[in-house]
Each structure stands twice: as C-alpha cells, then as structure tokens.
A and B are shown apart, each in its own frame.
Chain A
Amino acid sequence: MQQSARSDGDPPDQDIVELLRGGAVERAFERLASRYEHKVYRLCCSVLRDPDQAQDAAQESLLRVWKALPKYDQRASLSTWIYTITRNRCLTAIERRRVQESLSDPAVELEVESVHASAPERDADQAAILRGLVEELPARYRTALTLYYYEERDISEVAQMLGTPEGTIKTHLHRARALLLGRLRELGLADPAQWLERLA
C-alpha cells in the first residue's frame, strides 16, 4: 500500500515542505517520489495510452520536479504543482507524437484507421471490444474515465490530477458512460447488460 499523502490535521505533504525548508532536498525528493511516482505514471498512462511513452513522460516529469524542487514556492499545493508539470510533459509528448505521425504515410494511416474501425466486429475478445470502445471516446472523456477507475473512483483526486473542477469530471464521466452505452447498442448487442456481465 502506498504511503498516504495526507494525515489528520496537517496540510497535505507538510512533511515534504518541512524537509525542503530545512534544505534536505534529497530526502524531500525521495519521499515525494515514493508518494507520487505511481500517480504520475498513472496520469501519464491515462493521457498518453502508451506504456513506454508514459514511462518516459513520468521519468521526465519527476526529473523536472527534482531540478525545480528548490524553487517550489508553495503558491500551489505540492500535488497540484507535480501534476501540472506532469500534464505539461504529457502535452509535449503528444505534440512530439503528432509531428511524427504527420510525417508518416497517409495511405498507411488510412489502413490503420480502417482496421481500428472494424476491430470490434471481428475481435472475439470482449474485453478488447470494451477497451476499443473506450479508445474511441473523445480524449477528455477517455482520460477522465480511465483515471477514475485507476484511482479507485476518487473524483477529487482525478480532478486534481487533471487540473479540472470536480463537477466537470462528473459531467465527463456521465457523458463517457452514455456514449459507451450508445455504442454498445449500435453494435447490435441483443442484451448489452448480459454481455457486460460476461466480462467479469
């Protein structure tokens, strides 16, 4: 089980802030890394959807945190600051990926798209179908939905990680579920509820 970031009465991450004040930057970073590395990696996974890229982005984010740690001014909470750095690294990775994709052959891309579109009908693996449907969701809904389950339904944590109000996250989750149900019906499943139960 991960070490808790919060204890009763104290502001979150007060222990790390105290270490920083005392000039123990390395100890503060070690504590920060063990508390946030999982969350940073999960945030990268949900945004980038590629484990290798997520690992790189998480490493780069924490490296950046290490370099900037002495300048952390407590204007935002430590977690908000770390998540902001992580989201920025993810956006940079997405931009880099977009540039690489724009350089690739359009014919090959078209072929890949057609394979993606027809995959749910051909693929026998129901879990893969569900994952495929989630992949088709708009990015903001997909990210909120995956992170919601990664973070064990903790809306406030998801909101903080994505830098979005809790109400917006709830709206995104609601719309994501509605879109998924719509797509399940479109796929012509006679009884989607039974189909989903078989995914157990």
Chain B
Amino acid sequence: MKTVDDSTPGDDLEQALDRALERNFVAPPLPAGFRQQLHAAIARSGVRDPAAMAAALEREHEAQLAELRNDYVRLRQRTLGTLIGAAFATGLLINFALPWISARFGPNGVFALPAIGAAAGLALSARVWWRRSGLARLLP
C-alpha cells in the first residue's frame, strides 16, 4: 500500500519548498534503447539460459568436490604408506648397522650418530629461518 509522507510541511515556506522540489526532481526517463542494450549485454555474457547454466555449474561443482575428496583420500593413503615404509626401512637399517656402529665407535656410538643427525637438522633449520627473517640483509 502506498504510504504518503505525513511529515510534510506545515507553514508556507515549507510548502513552497515542497512544491519547488516536486517540480525540480521529476523522475528521469529510462534512456533510449535501455532494453536493447540489456539484451545485448545478456547475449555478450553468454548466459542464454540461466537455469541450464545454474544446473551445469552445480554439476561441475559436485564433480570438483568429488575429485577433491578422492585426492584427499589418495594423499592420506600415500602418506600412511610412506610413513610405514620409512619406519620399516629405518628399523632394517638400524638392525644391520648397530653391530658395525658398536664395533667402530664403541658402546656410545649408538647415541653419537643420531646426535650428529639432529645437530645437522637444527643447523639446516636455523639457516632457513635466518634467510626468511631477512636478518642477513641487515649485516654489512
């Protein structure tokens, strides 16, 4: 239902302003050829049948989701396989290497090798973080 403003002007001045505004703010007509331009824009957009396009997009979206889900499962399977393989390989290596390490480096050699490995890993990490932080650029 149309609601007309009931706060309109009481005195002469307000009424005069209201009339002046009414005369000077007439609704602008629709530009010539507006609908034709709209149809041209629709044609350019390539969306002739939005319902079909929506259905196609929906199908594409579903297919992408299914693919992502499959990739995720495949990735998890591969990660699990790698971890199990690495654990077996490490166990096997240690089993064969342990007698040789003990004979070569003494009873503490078992601890020395992992300690050297850990130190090398820490050094590599520190190098990477040093580069990333940009502190190297501050040095002369």
Are A25 and B49 interface neighbours, CB within 8 A?
A: yes
Interface presence of A70 (CB below 8 A): yes
Of residues 179 through 197 on chain A, the ones whose CB sits less than 8 Å from some CB of chain B are 180-181, 184, 192-194, 196-197
In the assembled complex, the CB of A17 is this many whole angstroms from the nearest CB of chain B, namely 15
Interface presence of B85 (CB below 8 A): no
In the assembled complex, the CB of A11 is this many whole angstroms from the nearest CB of chain B, namely 13
Interface presence of B45 (CB below 8 A): yes
Identify which of B19, B25, B50 contacts A66 (C-beta below 8 A): B50
Identify which of A33, A159, A177 contacts B14 (C-beta below 8 A): A177
Interface presence of A151 (CB below 8 A): yes
The interface stretch among B27-35, B73-81, B113-121, B122-130 is B27-35
Q: Tell me what chain B mostly uses at the interface: helix, strand, loop, or mixed.
A: helix
Are A173 and B27 interface neighbours, CB within 8 A?
A: no
Number of A-B contacts (CB under 8 A): 121
Question: Which residue on A lies nearest to B25, using beta carbons?
Answer: A149
Identify which of B18, B19, B37, B51 contacts A177 (C-beta below 8 A): B18
Which residues of B are interface residues toward A (Cβ below 8 A)?
A: 1-7, 9, 12-14, 16-28, 30-31, 34-35, 37-38, 41-42, 45, 47, 49-51, 53-54
Which residues of A are interface residues toward B (Cβ below 8 A)?
A: 23, 25-26, 33, 37-38, 41-42, 45, 51, 54-55, 58-59, 62-63, 66-71, 127, 130-131, 134, 145-146, 148-157, 159, 166, 170, 173-174, 177, 180-181, 184, 192-194, 196-197, 199-200
